[in-house]
Structure 1
Amino acid sequence: MTVDFVDYFWGEKNNGFDVLYHNMKHGVIASKELAEFLRERSAIEENNYKLLSKVAKQASNSTQGTFAPVWAALRGAAEKLAVLHLQMAQRVTELIKDVSKYADELHKKHKAVKEEESSTLEVVQSIQSITVTLHKAKDMCLQKGLELEKLKKDNASQRELEKTEIKFKKAQDDYKALVDKYTIIRNDFETKMTQACRRFQDVEETHLKHMKEFLNIYADVLQSNHEQVGQVHIDFKRQCVDMTVEKLLEQFVQGKYTGFEKPGVIEYEEVMTSLAEMTSHSQSEGSVEIPKETSKGTNGETGVAGNSHSSKRDQGLKRVGGTLRVLDGEGGRVVLEKDREKERQKEKDRELSHVQATKASRRTTSLLNLFMSNSQEKQRQAGSSGSAPATPQGNNLPPAVPSPSISRNPLRGSKWFLRSRREKRKEKKAKKKKDLIETSSNKEEKSDLSVYACTADLVHIESVSQPA
């Protein structure tokens, strides 16, 4: 059904023009109100963007623990939604500019229509005025006719009848003139009103097309934003489903694991057994030879140069860079004991031997302290009883030499112990053990080395001071 304003805006009062004109003015008001509505909608989207950005920032602060991946998904979803709301606010803002521009153009167009339809407005006012006058003239003519008929029935005088008849004819003439004038104005009004209706209809159709276009753009923006928001929600739901408890735990251990090796087993071992093993090992594998010097006395006897040997032993034992070294008596050259590389198949055996050696070193330290106290006591008793007996003269017996096992065994044991410690420290550095274990091991090593060094010196002094 095609609507034509020409068929709908007539009537007795001829108010169709006013209705169409005011309806045209409502178009400008509607466009301004639409722009205001879109402005409010854009403000809402911008506010949503700010709030979602704040929520995303709060979610980004939680990055620890096994629940951290879930926080990352929440932050990502919030950021995506914030971006979508910001994009929608920007698109609505652009639409607001178009609507405001159209409202200004529509206002100018309405002014032009008003000027063009000014003549139609005059015709409308004229026909409205003449219609009222025509109705009054018709009523007057009818009234004069009734008066004339009444005088005729009442047998009034001829003079009164003539006067009334003259008034009646005048009323008829006025009425007839108004009818002729009305006919002319009506034809003009009909022509111009038809043109005005069509013009108003064109204005309204164009206005509605523009407004409908704005609404379609707004609807597209809403639909697009809704689809994108829905896609974000779908992706977030899929992430939540994919992030199972097992997967969260797996991600945690992959990023925070500290190692795969368990601590080794520590077993109790007797101190004397460990000490015997250390002594036998030092005797079988020891490679340090302490030179012995003999000197001939003033009386022609061969004897042990005790003081010279003791001083050289004191000079020969030095600690260089935390490592016990032996200096030969002749050239002062540093002779380092060669480290023998030992193959071990399993890491647990190495840790077990290290723990056993540590325990043995501690127990050996306590035994050596006891031995040192006994040696000092014997030395004091020997000093109180008198000087040592002289070496018999005139025989061909070889000179008395201190037993090498007494003076070398502790030193060789310390060398073996030191070599084992160095190997352990190198293996621990290769395996990247914790600093705490290394620190404690180094401290124990230094303590044991110092004890062994002092013990070796004391044993040697004791052996020299005692009679052969």
Structure 2
Amino acid sequence: MFESRSGAVSVFLPSLFCERGTAAGSRWSGVSGCPCSLQQRLTWHRGYLVVPGGEGSQMINCVTFPLPGEGPEQQLLKPNEWSYCDYFWTDKKDPQGTTSVAGFEVLLQKQLKGKQMQKEMAEFIHERIKIEEEYAKNLSKLSLSPLAAQEEGTLGEAWTQLKKSLHDEAEVHLKFSNKLHSEVEKPLLTFRGDNFKKDLKKYDHHIADLRKQLASRYASVEKARKALADRQKDLEVKTQQLEIKLSNKTEEDIKKARRKSTQAGDDLMRCVDLYNQTQSKWFEEMVTTSMELEKLEVDRIEWIQQHLRQYTTLRHETDMFNQSTVEPVDQLLQSVDPAKDRELWVKEHKTGEVRPVDMDI
């Protein structure tokens, strides 16, 4: 038995020899099971690492998983949090079902998608800025219009102030566009620059290398398993020959076959041990790295949330400033007095106060 981060694994190999062929003091003596066939009885702890291909387990792309409903129920590493480290252990088949994508690759794709969404948000804000700039330009241009420039009196003053307010409003929108660029668009563009994809590739290569090592270890287990089966079969044949005809040569062959079977069993144990160690290492790195990716995603969302809230703050400020540009217009409009305007106009443009009288004969 050996300990791993995922739990202890007990490995039991079968008796390699019949009762009549068991060597005294052999490491296999006293082990129950059919003496002349390859069997393995496996015990797994906390529902994770088991001998590859053994009872109660299934092999998926060189990773060993417990069979559904077998053994104790696994507990989530981070219950009630929907954490990355709990839900991306198996590989995911593509819609066509021809290839599979590793669970870790799904997490990396999420990071790349998040980066793309961040870029598209920055593009959206950029388009918003262009609209503000164009709007400010048009407002400023309209404020210089000579239309109704000859309006007089208190109404003329209000009209002049209204046109001036367009210029002031244009300044407000221009400042809004500048702040959008510096406080929203630029942060979205610069958050996690070019090195981010390089960092993701490092994660990808690291986990992929561990999977390759695991596949190699599994191949070694299968090779050792086959070698043990071959040695046991050879031992069984020689044992049967001994029953037919007793000879010194046959007994010597049996001893050699026993040694080779024992060695093959040791080799299988060693290969299983190395496999489980490699899988345990992959398990640990998957947990650690998936948690790092989870934190990166939380940081991304919070960063975007912060700067989109800044957008709404700037928008509210713009509304307030716009309101301040029309307040003088409101005041002058409230002061418009048709009687006073008539008085001023008459005084300036009157042609005479003497009215006509009747003609005398």
Please tell me the TM-score bracket, short chain as reference. 0.5 to 0.7
Say if 2:182 is the partner of 1:91.
no
Say if 2:212 is the partner of 1:125.
yes
| Distance 1:130-1:116 versus aligned 2 partners, 3 A rule | same
**Partner Cα separation in structure 2 for residue 81 and residue 54 of structure 1:** 12
Q: Secondary structure at the match of 1:64?
A: coil
Q: Percent identity?
A: 19
- Structure 2's unaligned 5+ residue stretches are 1-79, 93-100, 234-239, 242-257
2:161 and 2:328 in contact (8 A); partners too: no
**Partner Cα separation in structure 2 for residue 139 and residue 229 of structure 1:** 80
| Distance 1:127-1:229 versus aligned 2 partners, 3 A rule | farther
2:105 and 2:204 in contact (8 A); partners too: no
Q: Which residue of 1 aligns with 2:344?
A: 254
Say if 2:162 is the partner of 1:74.
yes
1:84 and 1:225 in contact (8 A); partners too: yes
2:165 and 2:329 in contact (8 A); partners too: yes
Q: Which residue of 2 aligns with 1:63?
A: 149
Say if 2:269 is the partner of 1:182.
no
| Distance 1:139-1:77 versus aligned 2 partners, 3 A rule | farther
Q: Secondary structure at the match of 2:354?
A: coil
The residue correspondences of 1:362-377 to structure 2 (distance < 5 A) are none
TM-score calculated relative to the size of structure 1 = 0.43
Q: Which residue of 1 aligns with 2:189?
A: 100
> Following TM superposition, by how much is the alpha carbon of 1:171 offset from its aligned partner in structure 2, in angstroms?
11
* Code of the aligned partner of 2:141: K
* Code of the aligned partner of 1:86: L
**Partner Cα separation in structure 2 for residue 33 and residue 12 of structure 1:** 29
* Code of the aligned partner of 2:353: K
Q: Which residue of 2 aligns with 1:26?
A: 113
> Following TM superposition, by how much is the alpha carbon of 1:56 offset from its aligned partner in structure 2, in angstroms?
2.0
* Code of the aligned partner of 2:86: D
> Following TM superposition, by how much is the alpha carbon of 1:32 offset from its aligned partner in structure 2, in angstroms?
2.3
**Partner Cα separation in structure 1 for residue 326 and residue 212 of structure 2:** 64
**Partner Cα separation in structure 2 for residue 55 and residue 255 of structure 1:** 27
Q: Which structure has the larger Rg over C-alpha atoms? A: 1
**Partner Cα separation in structure 1 for residue 312 and residue 265 of structure 2:** 66
* Code of the aligned partner of 2:187: D
| Distance 1:170-1:40 versus aligned 2 partners, 3 A rule | farther
| Distance 1:192-1:259 versus aligned 2 partners, 3 A rule | same
**Partner Cα separation in structure 1 for residue 346 and residue 167 of structure 2:** 27
Q: Which residue of 2 aligns with 1:44?
A: 131
> Following TM superposition, by how much is the alpha carbon of 1:12 offset from its aligned partner in structure 2, in angstroms?
5.6
For structure 1, which segment, 48-57 or 256-265, has the greater mean C-alpha deviation from structure 2 after superposition? 256-265
1:127 and 1:182 in contact (8 A); partners too: yes
* Code of the aligned partner of 1:123: L
Deviations 1:24-60 (A, max 9, x none): 23343233222222211110001111222232222x4
* Code of the aligned partner of 1:254: L
2:143 and 2:163 in contact (8 A); partners too: yes
**Partner Cα separation in structure 2 for residue 64 and residue 256 of structure 1:** 15
* Code of the aligned partner of 1:253: E
Q: Which residue of 1 aligns with 2:292?
A: 199
| Distance 1:116-1:266 versus aligned 2 partners, 3 A rule | closer
**Partner Cα separation in structure 2 for residue 48 and residue 25 of structure 1:** 35
* Code of the aligned partner of 2:128: R
Q: Which residue of 2 aligns with 1:219?
A: 312
| Distance 1:63-1:12 versus aligned 2 partners, 3 A rule | closer
Deviations 1:317-348 (A, max 9, x none): xxxxxxxxxxxxxxxxxxxxxxxxxxxxxxxx
Q: Which residue of 1 aligns with 2:202?
A: 115
| Distance 1:34-1:263 versus aligned 2 partners, 3 A rule | same
Q: Which residue of 2 aligns with 1:208?
A: 301
| Higher relative contact order structure (alpha carbons within 8 Å, sequence separation ≥ 6) | 2
| Distance 1:136-1:80 versus aligned 2 partners, 3 A rule | farther
1:56 and 1:76 in contact (8 A); partners too: yes
2:108 and 2:204 in contact (8 A); partners too: no
**Partner Cα separation in structure 2 for residue 222 and residue 268 of structure 1:** 73
1:73 and 1:236 in contact (8 A); partners too: yes
**Partner Cα separation in structure 2 for residue 130 and residue 235 of structure 1:** 81
* Code of the aligned partner of 2:211: V
**Partner Cα separation in structure 2 for residue 193 and residue 266 of structure 1:** 110
Q: Which residue of 1 aligns with 2:72?
A: none
> Following TM superposition, by how much is the alpha carbon of 1:216 offset from its aligned partner in structure 2, in angstroms?
1.8
Q: Which residue of 2 aligns with 1:263?
A: 354
TM-score calculated relative to the size of structure 2 = 0.53
- Structure 1's unaligned 5+ residue stretches are 149-156, 159-165, 271-468
**Partner Cα separation in structure 2 for residue 243 and residue 128 of structure 1:** 87
| Distance 1:65-1:37 versus aligned 2 partners, 3 A rule | closer
**Partner Cα separation in structure 1 for residue 318 and residue 82 of structure 2:** 37
> Following TM superposition, by how much is the alpha carbon of 1:178 offset from its aligned partner in structure 2, in angstroms?
5.5
Judging by fraction of residues, say which structure has more helix: 1
* Code of the aligned partner of 1:84: V
**Partner Cα separation in structure 2 for residue 267 and residue 256 of structure 1:** 25
Give the RMSD, CA atoms, in angstroms: 4.5
* Code of the aligned partner of 2:174: L
> Following TM superposition, by how much is the alpha carbon of 1:92 offset from its aligned partner in structure 2, in angstroms?
1.2
**Partner Cα separation in structure 2 for residue 189 and residue 93 of structure 1:** 44
| Distance 1:122-1:232 versus aligned 2 partners, 3 A rule | same
| Distance 1:269-1:44 versus aligned 2 partners, 3 A rule | closer
**Partner Cα separation in structure 1 for residue 91 and residue 226 of structure 2:** 21
**Partner Cα separation in structure 1 for residue 91 and residue 224 of structure 2:** 16
| Distance 1:235-1:178 versus aligned 2 partners, 3 A rule | farther
> Following TM superposition, by how much is the alpha carbon of 1:74 offset from its aligned partner in structure 2, in angstroms?
3.3
